[in-house]
Structure 1
Amino acid sequence: MAQSGWGIFQKRRRPLGRAALTLTADQLALVFRAEARREPVALERKGASLAEAVAGAGAAGMACEWVLEPSQYSLLQVDRPAVPPEEWAQALRWKVRDLIPYPVDDAVMDAFEVPGLEARGRPPTLYLAVAQKSQLRPRIEEIGAAGLLLSRIGIAHLAWAAVARQLASGDESQAVLVIEPRGGSMLAMQEGILFVARQFEFDADDQRALRDPEAGRRERLFERIALELQRTLDYFDRTHQRPSPRRLLLLCGIEGLDGLGTALRSLLGLEVQEGAPEQAWPELAGLPLAARARLAGLSALVAEAAP
């Protein structure tokens, strides 16, 4: 996302390294690389203060990208206004007034373009990420107080796109499915560029299947996930008039879904690559399976920022 789009922080002194961070009410995750050390470090903490984690890891003074979790922003698809890119967010403030559950004066936003639509006779489109300013500011202050230099605010969808670029590179179409406790996020990409982003939430039956995978429940859950993924692929095909991705990168951030990759191969005929982030980013190797998937986006961003 454009570094100027959010408009709520400024760059400061020369950083001592690069870091990427997620931060929620009860959990933080941090991946960083110091200038003096080439090997990145990854950590995840529950119930710990960010200041303590940064001090203990020796990450103070590093430039940091804060990656918002999907629950911390809305991702809207809107027509591109006829103004320069640096003015997109301001021009679209009126448009989001009825699409967010808080006053537009409390909204902060950034935008990136959905490529290729003009060549197909369709209106040019943007993805608009919208977050609540009053919810971000305390976290921004917390990041600064911990000694990190906030240089950029990103979103999880673009971090996952960075994972796909590094784990499943290629010019052909590529799908990505990220499974988390709340549900799934799906991307459709081509040549490393994000074209489509969709999400779904696990309902009560899905949660029951995760807790108690008795005969039939797990199969119905896999079928539900396959249906949501197929809808994403169909939308990509219909909207962009490009061949649907036949390759899928699967990142599973919860336990108990063994067999999902095999099921998606069978149900959708996809070539499924079950992501092993620790192979690309060794700093994740010592973490639990679910944490590796959760931190993969942070490691990908730190790797892309490396000189």
Structure 2
Amino acid sequence: MEGSLLSKLQFWRKAVPTIELGLYVCAEKIYVYQEATEKFAANSFAFTFKKFDWTDAFEQIVKSLGTAKIQIVLSAEFYQVMQVDRPNVEPEEMNAALLWSVKDLVSQPVTDIHLDYFESSKQTTNKVSVVVAGKKQLTSLLLAARVAGIETCGVTIEEMAITNLFNDSQARLLLSHRAGGELLLAVVKNGELFMQRRVRGFLQLDSIAADDLAFGHADNLSLEIQRSMDFFESQLREAPVASIDLLMLGARDKLAALVSENFSQSVTPFQAESVEGVFSQMALAEFSRGETI
């Protein structure tokens, strides 16, 4: 009896995280999304901190929301995605072989490279997409979360996170753009990423006035959309995409109207307050996939 009673007084044990959060991690800000519960409505939070000061970032999160289990989506500034020839090696040797394939294509020393790779189930070439990130930076991020009492269940990237937006049998082309960032074009079908590409030249897409979009901007964007659609149809031998979706801020309604003039597909803008907030929701959706680290 006494032993059983005392076993309940293990006050030195840390509390087990009970809430789940989706985090979209940027260099100076973390966007957090918490799903609705019986007691609380769904909510989004943004925490600002000194650049790469992860200790401060996670301390703020714990102070505001408590300890938690998290899924992380890294913003594009933390990694590169490149296509390389697929090494002719066994699966367990793939990462080591890819390390030598990319070492001359990135600025990080080999000792500071953390990489992973992905490929479409409709792959028609002997290429794989390799994700390269700084090992020290990722380690610092994850260690700060652990010290704060946060359990990291998975880490992914924008390209993979967007597959959480759609899960139907029709192919959908998504254009994603953050202020000052490159444009991401991707095709998602059945919850799978079929193709993705980053496009330069649209860094200020969100700040162009609605009246100025007709002066070449919408047509230039339509050209990049057509190139992606052509690749999807001809190289992957797929039927045309069913829709075009815009995840961006700025004059998106006007942009959608102008772009739609060049395509038979519907062009629909996400009515979101922030692109980053949507990515934090996609991060939370990663819990349904299980661990990805």
TM-score by length of 1: 0.76
Q: Distance in 2 between matches of 1:63 and 1:88?
A: 30
- Residue deviations 1:196-253, cap 9 Å, x none? 11112336xx63x76563855553222222222222111212220112313112111x
Distance 1:38 1:251, change over 3 A: same
Equivalent residue, structure 1, for 2:170? 172
Q: Distance in 2 between matches of 1:227 and 1:110?
A: 31
Distance 1:129 1:216, change over 3 A: same
In the TM superposition, what is the alpha-carbon distance from 1:74 to its structure 2 partner? 0.8
Equivalent residue, structure 2, for 1:286? none
Is this contact kept in 2: 1:32–1:59, CA < 8 A? Answer: no
Equivalent residue, structure 1, for 2:61? 54
Distance 1:266 1:59, change over 3 A: farther
Equivalent AA in structure 1 for residue 184 of structure 2: S
Equivalent AA in structure 2 for residue 172 of structure 1: Q
The reply to whether residue 150 of structure 1 matches residue 132 of structure 2 is: no
The reply to whether residue 77 of structure 1 matches residue 69 of structure 2 is: no
Distance 1:219 1:258, change over 3 A: farther
The reply to whether residue 30 of structure 1 matches residue 36 of structure 2 is: no
In the TM superposition, what is the alpha-carbon distance from 1:56 to its structure 2 partner? 3.4
Equivalent residue, structure 2, for 1:5? none
Equivalent AA in structure 2 for residue 95 of structure 1: S
In the TM superposition, what is the alpha-carbon distance from 1:189 to its structure 2 partner? 2.2
The reply to whether residue 116 of structure 1 matches residue 122 of structure 2 is: yes
Alignment root-mean-square deviation, CA: 2.9
In the TM superposition, what is the alpha-carbon distance from 1:194 to its structure 2 partner? 0.5
1:1-307 equivalence runs, <5 A: 15-33=17-35, 39-47=41-49, 49-60=56-67, 62-83=68-89, 85-117=91-123, 122-165=124-167, 170-181=168-179, 182-202=181-201, 207=204, 211=207, 213=209, 216=212, 218-252=214-248, 254-276=249-271, 289=273, 291=274, 293-306=275-288
SS of the residue aligned with 1:20? strand
Is this contact kept in 2: 1:264–1:270, CA < 8 A? Answer: no
In the TM superposition, what is the alpha-carbon distance from 1:259 to its structure 2 partner? 0.5
Identity %: 21
Q: Distance in 1 between matches of 2:225 and 2:283?
A: 25
Equivalent residue, structure 2, for 1:285? none
TM-score by length of 2: 0.80
Is this contact kept in 1: 2:31–2:46, CA < 8 A? Answer: yes
Equivalent AA in structure 2 for residue 180 of structure 1: R
SS of the residue aligned with 1:248? strand
SS of the residue aligned with 1:172? coil
Equivalent residue, structure 2, for 1:284? none
SS of the residue aligned with 1:131? strand
Is this contact kept in 1: 2:210–2:254, CA < 8 A? Answer: no
Range 104-113 or range 210-219, more displaced? 210-219
- Residue deviations 1:129-153, cap 9 Å, x none? 1111122222222222332112221
Distance 1:35 1:266, change over 3 A: closer
Range 34-43 or range 124-133, more displaced? 34-43
Q: Distance in 2 between matches of 1:228 and 1:267?
A: 12
* Runs (5+) with no aligned partner, structure 1: 1-12, 278-288
Q: Distance in 2 between matches of 1:234 and 1:145?
A: 48
Is this contact kept in 1: 2:18–2:69, CA < 8 A? Answer: yes
Distance 1:38 1:171, change over 3 A: farther
In the TM superposition, what is the alpha-carbon distance from 1:64 to its structure 2 partner? 1.6
